[in-house]
Structure 1
Amino acid sequence: MRHRSAFVTGAAAVLLGVAVAATVPVASAAATGCSATYTVAGQWQGGFQGTISFTNLGDPLTGWKLEFDFPAAGQTVNQGWNATWAQTGNHVSATNESWNGGVGTGAPVSLGFVGSFTGSNPAPTAFRVNGVPCTGSPTTPPPTTPPPTTPPPAGGGAAPALHVSGNKLVTAAGTPYRLLGVNRSSGEFACVQGKGMWDGDPSAQANIDAMKAWNVHAVRLPLNEDCWLGLSGSPSGSAYQLEVKKVVDALVANGITPILDLHWTHGQYTGNISACTDVNATCQKPMPSMQYTPQFWTGVANTFKANTAVVFDLFNEPYPDAADNWANATAEWTCLRDGGACAGISYEVAGMQDLVDAVRATGARNVLMTAGLTWTNDLSQWLAYKPADPTGNLMASWHSYNFNACVTVACWDSQIGKVAAQVPVQAGEIGQDTCAHDYVDQVMAWADAHGVGYTPWTWNPWGGCSSGGNVLIEDWSGTPTRTYGEGVKAHLRTVNP
């Protein structure tokens, strides 16, 4: 994830000068629902003023986010009021201001914007508030934390060796195996923020047992390139590497598949949607660098190539398309695969093919995950631009949050489903920026039906879900956050890997 203080989802967000996906704390409510109306208050050549009014038909809200999709290409929000506005592609969101987040039952909210259009200017027809469709009637959701009537499936022994067969991840015996679990953040940021190695100790047996009580069978560990290579940070170099190996060994011994994810990398980036300008690995960059990232994966592969229970996620969330301001899709997909000189990026880029080659040159046969565009929410051309892997042990990496562009079953069917029909797909990050679990429930249900694995963000007790969204636990004992963590726990306890 674009770590976590700034969720930026598109060029329009930069034009509007807003931070996308501000936390939207919502009350734990027994009923939800809304109605919404959209009006074009005025229109002129290439421009218009839109107004939206929605009414809360459910329990009182302490915060809200309105979302809709423009029907036509070229429709854009330029400036808005009574909300923080953002746009990615044709998807628009408006998040409450500090003064209008509280909305009582039956209370209306009015907001508006000045926009532009090319061609036609049709009105959007479907609106959501905090992920709930505005159908004009309230609904009462089922209980959020029903404990399963039976305990999670029993299991023991070490995590299985894995390889790819067709569109399935399988064990040495050929049994299909999905990676179902959680992310465990901190290996990417603690060492470069003066916080030591980890947030908590992920190798501690008590912490692992807490995960196992949720039926976790996979843990994605975000890592830091500089700290692994000894370029910056503390611990770094061999001390950092030994800590990573300690956690990997503990997870494997407990039957949990480690997914090693390269999250923060070296290379100065000052272009479009810049998380930071630091050359060191203190933030998410649009692409890995040829200077250091192949060296990172050579070291990781040499460390873990004897254990094919360990999966390598080659790069967290590429966004060379955003760096190029979405100007040339062919060039952006080519940059993702082949690297080199990429528009909007000042350093020499390492493409996914470079990283696959670096791993395979060590003799490692571990399963590899390679990403798509737009923070790997876009897999539309993944099959056409997938890197060549002589071992065939290649998976597609997909991320899905409620504030992304591809957030509907129709999009998942047309994009992700086509990839999953040919190669295994792993949803390395899923989540939502509210404390509910309605969106993540939809993602998990769709993934279950299509053989896709998933690891929700994140198993870290960062002040509860309302402190920043996507937080699964209240403490290291595994107490789930209400209601996001409760929903994920309840679901994980019903599924087998």
Structure 2
Amino acid sequence: MRHPPRSVLLAVAGAAALLGSVVVPVVTAQGATPACTVDYSVTSQWATGFQGAVRITNNQAALSSWTLTFDLAGGQKVTQGWNAKWSQSGTTVTAANESWNGSLGTGASVSAGFLASWAGSNAVPATFKLNGTTCNADSEPPPPPTSPPPSQGGGTAPALHVLGNKLVDASGRNRRLLGVNRSGGEFMCVQGRGIFDGPVDDAAIKAIADWKANAIRIPVNEECWLGLSNVETEYAGSNYISAVKDLVARVEAHGMTPIVDLHWTYGQYTGNSAGCSDVHATCQKPMPDAQYTPSFWSSVASTFKNDQAVAFDLFNEPYPDRATSTTAQAWQCWRDGGTCPGIGYAVAGMQDLVDAIRSTGAKNVILVGGLAYSNDLSQWLTYKPTDPTGNLVAAYHVYNFNTCASESCWNSTIAPVAAQVPLVAGEIGENTCSHGFVDRAMKWFDDHDLSYLGWTWNTWDCSSGPSLISDYDGTPTAYGTGLRDHLRALNP
């Protein structure tokens, strides 16, 4: 869905060519509390350098000053840093507190970052010392998660997989995804205004669950996730990833399925129906870019591959059909990527992104939207990407103003797809501040045992776009009342 007008975007410098992102978590042995812990992460990396970050937690007596040391054994050289006084002698790196952040109480944490060069390898430091004391002592590799976090409000979300044309849980029970979109993570960060638009704490997520939703789609931004240099550090890289992970955990804790959706991406497009002329991820582009999107999905898949309760939505609303000359060209671009007519950047096709996810070992369910902003699934089955796990889902978006927005079109183009694979209408809505159209759409999807999620759980003016709520406590707009009452009627 295109968004209502937002703040003027920041004019920022171009991004470095990111190759990957590494986050090294610290998990201590059961019952052991180390004197200090250090989380080390590579938030972005390019051909000759990388950006790193450390988060230090003091578990011993309060400190009035601190010095962290570790060795970069891969030939890396620190060139500059922030939130600490950085220096390097040989392989040993030292980060000493600034005058304003030297106090580190018991249980308190402090974060600092740096830029460094590398060549040959970018090995992760093995040992960290805080004021001479070894941190992360008695640590051991984390066991693979076997379930989402304990419930805080109604259970945990089930692991999902595809069985025929249904989404099912581990016991084979059908799971229709019925819920809402929670917009914000795709635009706030790149606009320098935060990470989410409005609260995403436990109370805010419980308000969604109280509508009897069982799924939340979470739009995200690839440049913010990857920590590219055009995004403020505060809202990028490890900070952004942590915020998304925390939201996913809260969604699961309330028994709802989180769908991580790649919404805004890199790549300059000024052709037909362009949302912006900016090369950066500040609007919906016609297709994902080959430069960054495979790395984004590799990182996301690595982050969540041990939690099959999380579903992945490859790309919000493809529209290569607006750029290419023929429908065949559009569908070939959609599946295979590469050089696509009318699109000036190298495109990552849906097959490229499925391959990027599966190469990590992730078996999570993947949603794949069709052409025309995911409103056209007419040749989805013909061009369906290959998935070795068999866990692909057709994603469909429908609004009252779309071309395919009638029962006759759904019967002729959507029902045949839904007969062969699971189908999720990741966005349904209308721009009328009423719910007559979504009522019709929900009835059709109910009759065909399909999934749908309303756009969007944000407090925007429903006359400028389909906004479900007027308050984050769950107070619905006139439009949102239709979805809320319908979900509650399905699950009283």
What is the TM-score when the length of structure 2 is the normalising length? 0.69
Secondary structure, counterpart of 2:441 in structure 1:
helix
Secondary structure, counterpart of 2:168 in structure 1:
strand
The structure-2 alpha-carbon separation of the partners of 1:496 and 1:335, relative to structure 1 and needing over 3 Å to count, comes to: farther
Secondary structure, counterpart of 1:380 in structure 2:
coil
Match of residue 141 from structure 2? none
Contact 2:4 2:465 in 1 (8 A): no
Match of residue 404 from structure 1? 402
Query: Following the alignment from structure 1 to structure 2, what is the Cα–Cα distance between the partners of residues 414 and 217?
Result: 28
Match of residue 311 from structure 1? 311
Match of residue 78 from structure 1? none
Deviation, structure 1 residue 273 = 1.2
In the alignment, residue 359 of structure 1 is paired with which amino acid? I
Query: Following the alignment from structure 2 to structure 1, what is the Cα–Cα distance between the partners of residues 4 and 284?
Result: 10
Superposed counterparts of 1:61-140, under 5 Å = none
Contact 2:220 2:261 in 1 (8 A): yes
Match of residue 473 from structure 2? 477
Q: How much identity, in percent, do the aligned residues show? A: 60
Match of residue 174 from structure 1? 172
Query: Following the alignment from structure 1 to structure 2, what is the Cα–Cα distance between the partners of residues 492 and 178?
Result: 12
**RMSD (CA atoms):** 1.3
Match of residue 366 from structure 1? 364
In the alignment, residue 406 of structure 2 is paired with which amino acid? T
Query: Following the alignment from structure 1 to structure 2, what is the Cα–Cα distance between the partners of residues 222 and 209?
Result: 19
- What do the CA deviations read for 1:103-129 (whole angstroms, capped 9, x no partner)? xxxxxxxxxxxxxxxxxxxxxxxxxxx
Query: Following the alignment from structure 2 to structure 1, what is the Cα–Cα distance between the partners of residues 449 and 484?
Result: 19
Deviation, structure 1 residue 488 = 1.0
Match of residue 481 from structure 2? 486
Query: Following the alignment from structure 1 to structure 2, what is the Cα–Cα distance between the partners of residues 344 and 451?
Result: 38
Deviation, structure 1 residue 194 = 2.0
Match of residue 215 from structure 1? 212
In the alignment, residue 488 of structure 2 is paired with which amino acid? R
Match of residue 282 from structure 1? 282
Secondary structure, counterpart of 2:161 in structure 1:
strand
Deviation, structure 1 residue 219 = 0.3
Question: RCO higher in 1 or 2 (8 Å CA, sep ≥ 6)?
Answer: 1
Match of residue 68 from structure 2? none
Deviation, structure 1 residue 5 = 4.1
Query: Following the alignment from structure 2 to structure 1, what is the Cα–Cα distance between the partners of residues 5 and 338?
Result: 29
Match of residue 112 from structure 1? none
Query: Following the alignment from structure 2 to structure 1, what is the Cα–Cα distance between the partners of residues 489 and 165?
Result: 23
Deviation, structure 1 residue 193 = 1.2
Larger deviation: 378-387 or 233-242? 233-242
Match of residue 185 from structure 1? 183
In the alignment, which of 188, 197, 206 is matched to residue 203 of structure 2? 206
Contact 2:457 2:468 in 1 (8 A): yes
Deviation, structure 1 residue 4 = 3.5
- What do the CA deviations read for 1:266-295 (whole angstroms, capped 9, x no partner)? 011111111111111001000001100000
Contact 1:433 1:470 in 2 (8 A): yes
Contact 2:215 2:256 in 1 (8 A): yes
Contact 2:3 2:465 in 1 (8 A): no
Match of residue 129 from structure 1? none
Contact 2:199 2:472 in 1 (8 A): no
Superposed counterparts of 1:276-355, under 5 Å = 276-324=276-324, 327-355=325-353
Deviation, structure 1 residue 496 = 4.6
- What do the CA deviations read for 1:277-327 (whole angstroms, capped 9, x no partner)? 111100100000110000000000000000000000000000000012xx2
- What do the CA deviations read for 1:428-476 (whole angstroms, capped 9, x no partner)? 01101111101011111111111211111000112x423x131100101
In the alignment, residue 289 of structure 1 is paired with which amino acid? D
In the alignment, residue 287 of structure 2 is paired with which amino acid? M
- What do the CA deviations read for 1:48-96 (whole angstroms, capped 9, x no partner)? xxxxxxxxxxxxxxxxxxxxxxxxxxxxxxxxxxxxxxxxxxxxxxxxx
Contact 2:336 2:349 in 1 (8 A): yes
Contact 1:2 1:317 in 2 (8 A): no
- What do the CA deviations read for 1:174-222 (whole angstroms, capped 9, x no partner)? 00001100000000000011211111222x1111111111001100000
Runs of 4+ with deviation above 2 angstroms: 2-6
- What do the CA deviations read for 1:371-425 (whole angstroms, capped 9, x no partner)? 1100010000000001000000000010000111001101001111000000000
Query: Following the alignment from structure 1 to structure 2, what is the Cα–Cα distance between the partners of residues 494 and 179?
Result: 15
Deviation, structure 1 residue 254 = 1.2
In the alignment, which of 219, 227, 230 is matched to residue 230 of structure 1? 227
Contact 1:3 1:284 in 2 (8 A): no
Give the number of equivalent residue pairs.
Answer: 343
Superposed counterparts of 1:365-444, under 5 Å = 365-444=363-442
Match of residue 267 from structure 2? 267
In the alignment, residue 252 of structure 2 is paired with which amino acid? V
Secondary structure, counterpart of 2:382 in structure 1:
coil
Larger deviation: 174-183 or 209-218? 209-218
What is the TM-score when the length of structure 1 is the normalising length? 0.68
Contact 1:460 1:476 in 2 (8 A): yes
Secondary structure, counterpart of 1:337 in structure 2:
helix
Deviation, structure 1 residue 3 = 2.6
In the alignment, residue 468 of structure 2 is paired with which amino acid? L
